[in-house]
């Protein structure tokens, strides 16, 4: 009985394991009534062309090149018994369609970016017109930095106050009617020999207390730099008033004199001061109090015989105002008269 060799019916050995060691299958001539068993193929496999005999074509191998670890195919006429066709590679999608879709997507994205940029520019323009603020690159308004205003120029120093001239001194003193009103009496008469320009020359013991018991005392003003003095003396049966005004070269020198006299007066408190008039009997004075009311230094003194006086010393501009108001019960008459004189100093 003749035998024929059929094509291999077994799958190819796994890659890397070499050729199969199984023997080729020998197909016998079909017997009557018995048909050959159908060959089952995987749906995903595709068989290559088969030729029998010499010059047979091996199944199509989609993976070209030698496989690692595999022995070369047998060159027998019947071919490799394990030469099943390899599964086809996955089909790649058409390149043209994918490129066209990608191009459409890129065009759509580019259009969206252009639209967003246009909206951002429009918002920035409207924001800048509405409130004048700067706009960031993403369209959010950024407030402008605060504007620094120029510093205000320093005002010039005020001009120095005008100084009182020596000739103006008599006009600064109150008239007798005003003095009488302050002293609470109907009228007061001037003491001519004690009124006018110049200072009193009385002495006192202690000497530094002479300015406390006598206004416009020359010995108290000595060395102070005074320029001119004018004194007014008024009296009636119960009251006596002495007020004097003295000019100095500057307002500072007038103020310094008041400060120095305040210190001297403080040292004369509660001690008897003997006043020795040039042409009269000595009079002893007692210092009861020395204080300050604002810019005015005040003191209370009393003499033998029940006469009491209030003293007031102050300055305005370059003028020193020196007042003594005496009565049975003095209060603040000297301070009131000094304030009236100060208001006349311009």
197: burial class by Cβ within 10 Å (0-12, 13-18, 19+)? exposed
Q: Which residues, including other chains, have CB under 8 Å from residue 100's CB and lie 6 or more apart?
A: none
pLDDT of residue 129: 46
pLDDT of residue 130: 47
pLDDT of residue 169: 98
Strand boundaries in the chain, DSSP class E: 4-5, 26-27, 134-135, 141-142, 189-190, 196-197, 203-205, 228-235, 240-247, 272-276, 283-293, 296-303, 308-316, 319-327
Q: Which residues, including other chains, have CB under 8 Å from residue 79's CB and lie 6 or more apart?
A: 7, 8, 56, 58, 73
DSSP string covering 139-172: S-EEPPPPPPPPPPPPPPPPPPPPPPPGGGHHHH
CATH classification number, 166-344, choose in 3.40.50.300, 3.40.1000.70, 3.30.70.2190, 3.40.50.620: 3.40.1000.70
pLDDT of residue 200: 95
Contact 205, 276 (CB under 8 A): yes
**Rounded CA gap, 198 and 226, in Å?**
11
pLDDT of residue 48: 44
Q: Which two tokens stand for residue 181?
A: 């009103």
Mean pLDDT by 10 residues, the chain (346 residues): 43 46 49 51 45 45 48 46 50 49 50 49 48 53 67 79 93 97 96 96 94 97 97 96 98 97 93 82 92 96 90 98 96 97 95
**Rounded CA gap, 246 and 227, in Å?**
7
Q: Which residues, including other chains, have CB under 8 Å from residue 170's CB and lie 6 or more apart?
A: 230
Nearest CA among 126, 34, 44 for reference residue 88 = 44
pLDDT of residue 10: 45
Q: Considering the entire predicted model, what is its pTM?
A: 0.56
């Amino acid at each position: 009985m003749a035998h024929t060799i059929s094509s291999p019916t077994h799958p190819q050995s796994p890659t890397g394991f070499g050729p199969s060691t199984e023997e080729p299958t020998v197909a016998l001539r079909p017997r009557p009534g018995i048909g050959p068993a159908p060959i089952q193929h995987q749906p995903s496999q595709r068989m290559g062309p088969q030729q029998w005999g010499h010059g047979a074509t091996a199944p199509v191998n989609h993976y070209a090149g030698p496989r690692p670890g595999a022995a070369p195919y047998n060159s027998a006429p019947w071919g490799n018994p394990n030469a099943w066709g390899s599964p086809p590679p996955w089909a790649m999608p058409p390149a043209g369609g994918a490129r066209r879709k990608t191009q459409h997507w890129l065009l759509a994205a580019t259009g969206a970016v252009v639209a967003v940029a246009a909206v951002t520019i429009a918002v920035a323009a409207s924001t800048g017109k509405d409130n004048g603020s700067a706009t960031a690159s993403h369209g959010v308004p950024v407030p402008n930095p605060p504007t620094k205003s120029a510093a205000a120029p320093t005002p010039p120093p005020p001009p120095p106050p005008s100084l009182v001239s020596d000739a103006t001194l008599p006009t600064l003193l109150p008239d007798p009617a005003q003095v009488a009103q302050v002293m609470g009496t109907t009228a007061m008469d001037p003491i001519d020999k004690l009124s006018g320009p110049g200072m009193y020359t009385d002495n006192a013991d202690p000497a530094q207390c002479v300015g406390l018991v006598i206004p416009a005392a020359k010995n108290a003003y000595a060395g102070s730099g005074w320029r001119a003095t004018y004194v007014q003396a008024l009296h009636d049966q119960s009251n006596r008033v002495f007020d004097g005004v003295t000019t100095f070269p500057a307002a500072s020198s007038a103020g310094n004199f008041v400060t120095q006299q305040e210190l001297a007066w403080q040292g004369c408190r509660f001690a008897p001061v003997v006043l020795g008039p040039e042409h009269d009997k000595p009079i002893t004075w007692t210092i009861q109090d020395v204080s300050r009311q604002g810019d005015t230094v005040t003191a209370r003194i009393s003499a033998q015989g029940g006469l009491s006086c209030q003293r007031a010393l102050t300055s305005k501009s370059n003028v020193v105002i020196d007042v003594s108001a005496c009565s049975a019960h003095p209060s603040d008459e000297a301070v009131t008269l000094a304030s009236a004189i100060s208001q006349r100093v311009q």
